[in-house]
């Protein structure tokens, strides 16, 4: 029987495919399972519109079988199957997707969840197999056919026997080489792990015969060998479930299962968006700062699924840096993926989702601040610094998003207050929002510069984080009140009439000040009498933009 040749372009494509499109070999299983799931979806879909066809969920599943001795891995499905023509057209022509055609034909109608679109996924099987055999019987057909190929040099199609409708794909797994291990694709535990990783939320059961040893029932020291069929995937993803059916514990379990963190999440956000963008997401605000959070090693991002199939572990584009602590996942049906699925096209949908998510996180945090103050302060202790960095790195509108989420320790009761709380509590004659910087609250309280402000009955914000002052310099003002360091030259506080510096006093000390200035010539610019001191004899103040604390930090920075 004559071997049919792949089209010339196809031949090149196949080689390229095997060597370069996919970054990881293990995804061949994701691709074959996606195809099987599509095939079952097509039957399901036909049943929706065809009264003669009943869809009984129990009859539809995907089964994986590994034969270590024979070096074969077999994946069968009870899907719609392929006719001889289908085998020719869909497997004989690379980059032709029968599933995309199906989707287009049935675009107007609801009810399917088809994953395929590029017409290349199938060939990823050649990354791990020397020979790929496909035996298929199409729905409504009495005949079955066998398609077989060793890769680039073509394929054969011959009649075959198959009792039931569906498709069976047999991979002859490659022999190990010095550099590459293929045996792992015959190991149960490895296959299970790959299914869990990429295909856990495929809507149909993925079954596998699993063998092992376990303690005998009712006995501690006796073991038994067992072999049983197990369903590996969990099928219904938690994010497709109704919020009302889920408990906080369900979300916490998901957080732990996914290893988003070792802590318990402070808050979860379950989104089911149905507007301009359609997506589902579960997001978490962690309780504690990951150990590497403020280092270069930390990588922000959310898991990205397309229709229940994992596309990317950490999609950074979904989160602004200042919400980089958020963990979780997004599932959307209408993303434009590139051929390897590992990358996204520059996608308008994705941008919309990211914007949407940012706003949800922001309003959750605002809600928490309003209604669950303790929780919010806990959050702020872990990630407040990140928010302040967000304000500092502002190139556009972050400030507006973030300024209401900021908190600083106030001189009054030494509690955290928001800028809004500070401004609302300001006496009428107070012009500025005052702050004082230092290493610790203790140190700040000893600053002579705070006295005059406190004496006036004004509150001072204590800045102990090195980013604090840089952040508010970006804000400049809050609700039209400018920020003012207590060590700046002009505090905007009117001295009482009796306290006004008389010219005489100024002249009295003139010689002394000149002498002091001469001695400190390289350290200070000027020496002046001051009315802001009460119990301290002297203090340092600055003129211009930078405060003493900021200068210290800038000097300490590597150039």
Residues binding ligand ADP (CB under 6 A): 31, 35-36, 39, 77, 79-80, 82, 90-91, 97-100, 116-122, 167
User: Do residues 60 and 38 touch, judged by C-beta distance below 8 A?
Assistant: no
The annotation places the binding site at 31, 35, 77, 82, 90, 96-98, 117-122, 167, 341
Stretch of 28-36, 314-322, 442-450, 528-536 contacting Mg ion, by CB under 5 A: 28-36
The annotation places the binding site for ATP at 31, 35, 77, 82, 90, 96-98, 117-122, 167, 341
Give the contact letters, 484-503, x = binds to Mg ion (CB under 5 A), - = no.
Answer: --------------------
- Helical H runs in 372-456? 373-392, 398-402, 419-424, 441-445, 450-455
Residue 55 C-beta: closest distance to ligand ADP, Å: 16
Residue 116 C-beta: closest distance to ligand ADP, Å: 2
Q: At what angle do helices 468-475 and 548-556 cross, to 10 degrees?
A: 120
**In angstroms, how far apart are the furthest CA atoms of the chain?**
117
Cβ nearer to Mg ion, comparing 100 with 131: 100
The span from the CA of 282 to the CA of 327, in Å, is: 8
Out of 10, 28, 33, 35, the residue judged to bind Mg ion by CB under 5 A: 35
Structure tokens at 551: 């200068």
Residue 122 C-beta: closest distance to ligand ADP, Å: 3
Residue 10 C-beta: closest distance to ligand ADP, Å: 12
The span from the CA of 135 to the CA of 242, in Å, is: 39
The span from the CA of 287 to the CA of 379, in Å, is: 6
Cβ nearer to ligand ADP, comparing 78 with 409: 78
Stretch of 33-41, 284-292, 349-357, 479-487 contacting Mg ion, by CB under 5 A: 33-41
- 10 SS3 class: helix
Question: What does 394 bind: ligand ADP, Mg ion, none (CB cut-off 5 to 8 Å by kind)?
Answer: none
CA distances from 30 to 40, 176, 262, 376, 520 (A): 15, 21, 28, 40, 73
Cβ nearer to ligand ADP, comparing 98 with 448: 98
Question: What does 82 bind: ligand ADP, Mg ion, none (CB cut-off 5 to 8 Å by kind)?
Answer: ligand ADP
Cβ nearer to ligand ADP, comparing 117 with 403: 117
Cβ nearer to ligand ADP, comparing 90 with 449: 90
Out of 92, 98, 121, 237, the residue judged to bind Mg ion by CB under 5 A: 121
Report the DSSP beta bridge partners of residue 148: 133, 156
Residue 272 C-beta: closest distance to Mg ion, Å: 27
Q: Each residue of 527-552: b (16+ CB within 10 Å) or e?
A: beeeebeeeeeebebbeeebbebbee
Cβ nearer to ligand ADP, comparing 82 with 170: 82
Cβ nearer to ligand ADP, comparing 233 with 547: 233
Residue 54 C-beta: closest distance to ligand ADP, Å: 20
The span from the CA of 198 to the CA of 193, in Å, is: 9
Structure tokens at 203: 């809507």
- Decide: is 119 part of the binding site for Mg ion (CB under 5 A): no
User: Do residues 378 and 370 touch, judged by C-beta distance below 8 A?
Assistant: no
Name residue, tokens 């006719």.
83
Structure tokens at 99: 């599933």
Residues lying near Mg ion in the complex (CB under 5 A): 34-35, 116, 121
């Amino acid at each position: 029987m004559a071997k049919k040749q792949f089209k010339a372009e196809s031949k090149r494509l196949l080689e390229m495919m095997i060597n370069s499109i996919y970054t990881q070999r293990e995804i061949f299983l994701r691709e074959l399972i996606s195809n099987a799931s599509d095939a079952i979806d097509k039957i399901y879909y036909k049943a929706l519109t065809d009264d003669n066809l009943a869809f009984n969920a129990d009859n539809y599943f995907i089964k994986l079988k590994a034969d270590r001795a024979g070096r074969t891995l077999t994946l069968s499905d009870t899907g719609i199957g392929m006719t001889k023509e289908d085998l020719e057209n869909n497997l004989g022509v690379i980059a032709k997707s029968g599933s995309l055609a199906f989707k287009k034909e049935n675009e107007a109608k609801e009810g399917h969840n088809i994953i395929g679109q590029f017409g290349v996924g199938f060939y990823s099987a050649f990354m791990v197999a020397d020979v790929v055999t496909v035996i298929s019987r199409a729905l409504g057909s009495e005949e079955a056919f066998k398609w077989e190929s060793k890769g680039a040099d073509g394929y054969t199609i011959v009649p075959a026997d198959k009792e039931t409708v569906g498709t069976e794909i047999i991979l002859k797994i490659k022999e190990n080489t010095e550099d590459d291990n293929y045996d792992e694709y015959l190991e149960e535990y490895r296959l299970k792990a790959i299914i869990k990783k990429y295909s856990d939320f495929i809507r149909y059961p993925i079954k596998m015969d699993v063998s092992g040893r376990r303690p005998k029932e009712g006995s501690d020291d006796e073991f038994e060998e067992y072999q049983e069929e197990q369903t590996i995937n969990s099928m219904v993803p938690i994010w497709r479930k109704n919020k009302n059916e889920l408990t906080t514990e369900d979300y916490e379990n998901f957080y732990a299962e996914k290893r988003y963190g070792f802590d318990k999440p402070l808050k979860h956000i379950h989104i089911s968006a149905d507007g301009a963008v359609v997506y589902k997401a579960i997001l978490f605000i962690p309780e504690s700062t990951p150990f590497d959070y403020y280092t270069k090693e930390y990588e922000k991002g959310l898991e990205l699924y397309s229709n229940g199939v994992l596309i990317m572990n950490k999609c950074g584009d979904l989160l602004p840096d200042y919400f980089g602590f958020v963990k979780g996942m997004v599932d959307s049906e209408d993303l434009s993926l590139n051929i390897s699925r590992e990358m996204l096209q520059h996608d308008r949908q994705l941008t919309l989702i990211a914007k949407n998510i940012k706003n949800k996180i922001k309003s959750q945090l605002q809600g928490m601040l309003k209604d669950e103050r303790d929780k919010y302060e806990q959050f702020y202790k872990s990630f407040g610094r990140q928010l302040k960095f967000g304000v500092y790195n502002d190139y556009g509108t972050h400030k507006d998003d973030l300024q209401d989420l900021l908190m600083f320790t106030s001189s009054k009761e030494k509690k955290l207050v928001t800028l809004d709380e500070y401004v609302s509590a300001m006496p009428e004659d107070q012009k500025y929002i005052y702050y004082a910087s230092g290493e610790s609250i203790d140190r700040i309280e000893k600053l002579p510069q705070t006295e005059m402000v406190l004496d006036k009955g004004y509150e001072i914000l204590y800045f102990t984080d090195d980013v604090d002052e840089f952040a508010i310099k970006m804000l400049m003002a809050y609700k039209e009140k400018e920020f003012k360091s207590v060590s700046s030259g002009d505090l905007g506080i009117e001295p009482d009439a009796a306290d006004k510096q008389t010219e005489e006093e100024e002249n009295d000390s003139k010689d002394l000040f000149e002498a002091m200035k001469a001695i400190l010539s390289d350290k200070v610019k000027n020496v002046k009498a001051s009315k802001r001191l009460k119990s301290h004899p002297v203090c340092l103040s600055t003129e211009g933009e930078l405060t003493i604390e900021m200068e210290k930090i800038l000097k300490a920075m590597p150039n």
